[in-house]
Structure 1
Amino acid sequence: MKPILPVAMATLLLACSVGPDYVRPTAVVPAAFGESAPWRVAQPRDNAQRGPWWHIYEDPRLNGLMEQVTLSNQSLKAAEAQFRQARALVQAARSGYHPQLHGGASLDRSRSYSKNSGSTSTTYLLSADASWELDLWGRVRRDVEASRAEAQASAADLESLRLSIQAELVGDYFQLRTIDAQKRLLDETVSSYEQYLELTRNRHAAGVASPADVLQAETQLRNSQAQAIDLGVERAQREHAIALLIGRAPAEFTLTPIPLDSIPPPSPPGLPSRLLERRPDIAAAERRVAAANARIGVATAAYFPAITLSSSAGFASSSLSNWLSWPGHVWALGSAIAQTVYDGGLRGAQVDEARATHEATVANYRQTVLTAFQEVEDNLAALRILEQEAAVQDQALRAARQSLVITTNQYRAGIVGYLNVIVAQTTALELERDSIDLMGRRMAASVNLVKGIGGGWDAADLAAIDGNGQQ
């Protein structure tokens, strides 16, 4: 029983871990979003599509692109590999709970000399050694705690990157559709201006219009054609960006034009406190605080002695035939205690470093929370203000269209010159393009709001990473 007592006593002490226990840092959370005015309680929508967050836009082509992002995006593959690396580090830290076993075999042949003679001897040795450093002060436990928190932070980083890429794809997709709507408008405008040019030429042939009117009509037409062509540059770049996000070469990917003709769907963001659970970047920052807190315990444990139990067993013989026989059996048990007496302030500096690192992660966590609220408020404000602007813009556009019709009829009747028509055309076209651009900005704000509230992610998913570092 005597050899067992020290082990039993050490086991009782294993529950002790030096260093501070983790307490989640506080963060300022407002009772409500300041820009929550346009949001209302969601009404039942049994016919609405359900699933990942981008399904709220009810666009099958967008859904198909998202599936390719999950399968082929190279940045996500790299982040997934980094997450697996973090999980492996958890298991590496957990290995400190267990004894280390080593085995080996050796053959030694030696010769000794005396004054008148010499002798040769051979030693055959087969041995197994075990050593175990008792985790009396919780150094290993804190190391595992830190590694697990880092793995959870890595998992949240992966989800943060996934959400960012998904939002970028949705944003590029709707920007592409906005460009397609601008292109359709300009194509229709070019067709209309061609009719105006033909009308002006006919009036010039009849002696009613001047050559300047014809030149002005042609200038207006060619300028609109140039604007339509120029849109091709941005469209190609957006298309190439989408190809990159889904892991394909730009030359192998095309999207047929589909103009944007929808409005942002309702996306109630919920309570501000839920933002702390739905944002993966906030979860990652909080997990890094937990890891830094555990590292304080790891550094503090260096002040205490390390106690190691060891044992070895095997067979030793000078004869190969008797090597593995019981008379050649050997064994040994031992223990050791080691304590650093003087290190020139190294341990104190390491503890100070760990505490400073913890304070930095707390500050980063709180800053991440504040940034998250800013992003949500920014996009709530954008949706509210842009909706108001769209209402006024629609009124201005209706007035511009009516003005163009009246001015055209006056020109046909010879009441006004063609310059008045050009002014009315330019105003109407600018307002048409502004309306399309405004719709694109509203869709972008909608996407950014969904990203700001964390999409459909939840911090509870991190609990799936268990004590073995598996997910």
Structure 2
Amino acid sequence: MLLLAQGCSSHRIDTPDSLGEEVKTKVDTTKEFNAEQGVTGKVENNWLKTFNDTELDKLVDEALEHNPNLKAASFVVEQAAAQTKLASAALQPTVGYNGGVSNTSVGSSSSSGGIGASWELDVWGRVSAQVQSARSSQRAIEADYAFAKQSLVAEVSKAWFSLIETIQQEQLSKQIVKEFAATRELVNVKFDLGEVLRKDVSQAQADLNSAKDSHIQAQNAVKNSSRALELLLGRYPSATLIGQANLPQLPLFPQAGVPAELLQRRPDLIAKEEQLRSAFFAVQDAELARFPTFSLSVGGGLSNGSNFLSALAAGVTGPIYTGGAIEAGIENATAAQKGALASYEAAIISVFKDVETSLNNEKVLQQRSEVLALAVEDYKTALKDTQTQYELGEVELTLVQIQQTKLDASRSTDLHVKSLLLQNRVNMYLGLGGGFDSDDAGSEVKRAIEVDKKEAKKEKNN
């Protein structure tokens, strides 16, 4: 027994927290983001309200209540909680009863009844390791669910902005049709006066038809965007959801914090760390399968009205030869733990990349928006001057077409960039880990994890 105890006490030197720290030290968490714009204060919550869009607020509430994928994720959380309860039950004694009546061929009968209890003593801590593994797995699933909610709000927000953009693009394409129709009328007048050739009439008509085709495509894009948003809301995709005419104003640039803080704010990273903790305890469980289990049982009963009889027993079972099953179990659990380590590291790097990308995109899109606004005004002036020259017969229709096409492209791109700015801001909020409402993104899970750690420490000391 002494040898067994010594073997158990020295079987593992790592702790679940030390494994997480090992990953964090491998990843460079610099003091500031490389693409940072100089705002390193505390990341704020309630980012949804920064858009000041009441219609978006309503859509988010609807999605959180009716999105079927989020509902499915909530049931996975319930299942994980049940699994933890199931694992925890092994720490408690089980109590049962039995009874029966039998008749013989000679007409006699007998009856019996009894009650018993059994309890597996968690001498080596294997059952506790199983409970800790299940509990950490539960917390990981809860954190994934918290991130799923954040992601859903982000997807609804971006889909809403995309819908508004497609409406604006449709209105722009409608305006372009009118402009090409006016050009065609001008060309027809000049043709009737003998100032231009028939090819100009054909070119003008072709431009008008092409503009009409673009308008048809824009109308279809509105319906597709509407269906995409309806799907997120849990509605039938009927394309009846109507967006508003204008995009909201871009909020002020948010506080970005520092990279290291993401490890505590992002629910998906919290989930990865809890998966690592679960894998650690799974390795403990596999290694402790080498050692015997001890149990106590007590029971008593009556038979044909006799005096109550009771018994107390203790048992021990342990492996001698398992055909390599225990070793294979350890290898499997260890490989899973290594995979969890690598997955955690990859997730951290990916999150840093997402944040750096969104921060950099903000600067790039802002610059593009500024120059595009200038380009639109310059193209308007150029087109107006060219149209005047064409009316006077100083230039060919082709030059008017070129200026019109450049103006149309710049106006469309300008609208798209404004939408991208808002969508990128949503990506930034999601990446930084601030909550869409007044709470931190993973605050509830983090509180539960701290409680788990305190309880585990208390159980270990006892």
Tell me the TM-score range normalised by the shorter chain.
Answer: 0.7 to 0.9
Please list the CA deviations of residues 298-329 of structure 1 after superposition, one character each: whole Å capped at 9, or x if unmatched: 11221221111111122222xxxxx3xxx521
Q: Using a 3 Å threshold, how does the CA distance of structure 1 residues 168 and 190 change in structure 2: closer, same or farther?
A: same
> Given the alignment, which residue of 145, 150, 167 partners 2:137?
150
Question: Alpha-carbon deviation of 1:252?
Answer: 7.2
Q: More helix by proportion, 1 or 2? A: 2
The secondary structure found in structure 1 opposite 2:345 is helix
Structure 1 residue 166 corresponds to structure 2 residue 160: no
Structure 1 residue 359 corresponds to structure 2 residue 342: no
Question: Alpha-carbon deviation of 1:270?
Answer: 1.5
The secondary structure found in structure 1 opposite 2:300 is strand
- Residue 40 of structure 1 corresponds to 39
Please list the CA deviations of residues 52-71 of structure 1 after superposition, one character each: whole Å capped at 9, or x if unmatched: 43222111111111011111
Question: Alpha-carbon deviation of 1:122?
Answer: 3.4
- Two-structure CA RMSD over aligned residues (Å): 2.6
Question: Alpha-carbon deviation of 1:51?
Answer: 7.0
Question: Alpha-carbon deviation of 1:154?
Answer: 0.6
Conserved 8 A contact 1:17-1:138: no
- Residue 9 of structure 1 corresponds to none
Q: Using a 3 Å threshold, how does the CA distance of structure 1 residues 391 and 272 change in structure 2: closer, same or farther?
A: same
1:185 corresponds to which letter in structure 2? L
Conserved 8 A contact 2:70-2:148: yes
Question: Alpha-carbon deviation of 1:85?
Answer: 0.2
How many angstroms apart in 2 are the aligned matches of 1:163 and 1:230? 32
Structure 1 residue 60 corresponds to structure 2 residue 82: no
How many angstroms apart in 1 are the aligned matches of 2:357 and 2:389? 46
Question: What are the equivalent positions in structure 2 for 1:319-358 lying under 5 Å apart?
Answer: 323=305, 328-358=307-337
How many angstroms apart in 2 are the aligned matches of 1:17 and 1:297? 12
Normalising by structure 2, report the TM-score: 0.87
Structure 1 residue 390 corresponds to structure 2 residue 373: no
Question: What are the equivalent positions in structure 2 for 1:308-327 lying under 5 Å apart?
Answer: 308-317=295-304, 323=305
User: Bigger CA drift: 215-224 or 86-95?
Assistant: 215-224
2:217 corresponds to which letter in structure 1? D
User: Bigger CA drift: 446-455 or 62-71?
Assistant: 446-455
Structure 1 residue 436 corresponds to structure 2 residue 436: no
- Residue 5 of structure 2 corresponds to none
How many angstroms apart in 2 are the aligned matches of 1:277 and 1:228? 48
Identity in percent:
25
Question: Alpha-carbon deviation of 1:467?
Answer: 5.6
Structure 1 residue 97 corresponds to structure 2 residue 91: yes
2:234 corresponds to which letter in structure 1? G
1:307 corresponds to which letter in structure 2? F
Structure 1 residue 74 corresponds to structure 2 residue 74: no
Conserved 8 A contact 1:156-1:284: yes
2:386 corresponds to which letter in structure 1? T
Question: Alpha-carbon deviation of 1:184?
Answer: 1.4
Conserved 8 A contact 1:157-1:280: yes
Structure 1 residue 400 corresponds to structure 2 residue 379: yes
- Residue 432 of structure 2 corresponds to 453
How many angstroms apart in 2 are the aligned matches of 1:171 and 1:299? 46
Question: What are the equivalent positions in structure 2 for 1:165-204 lying under 5 Å apart?
Answer: 165-204=152-191
Question: Alpha-carbon deviation of 1:396?
Answer: 2.2
Conserved 8 A contact 1:197-1:218: yes
The size of the alignment, in residue pairs, is: 433
1:167 corresponds to which letter in structure 2? A
Q: Using a 3 Å threshold, how does the CA distance of structure 1 residues 273 and 98 change in structure 2: closer, same or farther?
A: same
The secondary structure found in structure 2 opposite 1:128 is strand
- Residue 46 of structure 1 corresponds to none
> Given the alignment, which residue of 211, 216, 224 partners 1:229?
216
Q: Using a 3 Å threshold, how does the CA distance of structure 1 residues 359 and 51 change in structure 2: closer, same or farther?
A: closer
Q: Using a 3 Å threshold, how does the CA distance of structure 1 residues 392 and 298 change in structure 2: closer, same or farther?
A: same
Structure 1 residue 413 corresponds to structure 2 residue 396: no
2:129 corresponds to which letter in structure 1? R
Question: Alpha-carbon deviation of 1:387?
Answer: 1.6
How many angstroms apart in 1 are the aligned matches of 2:312 and 2:98? 18
How many angstroms apart in 1 are the aligned matches of 2:9 and 2:387? 89
Question: Alpha-carbon deviation of 1:95?
Answer: 0.6
Please list the CA deviations of residues 413-453 of structure 1 after superposition, one character each: whole Å capped at 9, or x if unmatched: 33223222222111111111121122222222222222222
Q: Using a 3 Å threshold, how does the CA distance of structure 1 residues 77 and 54 change in structure 2: closer, same or farther?
A: same
User: Bigger CA drift: 202-211 or 448-457?
Assistant: 202-211
The secondary structure found in structure 2 opposite 1:124 is strand
- Residue 289 of structure 1 corresponds to 276
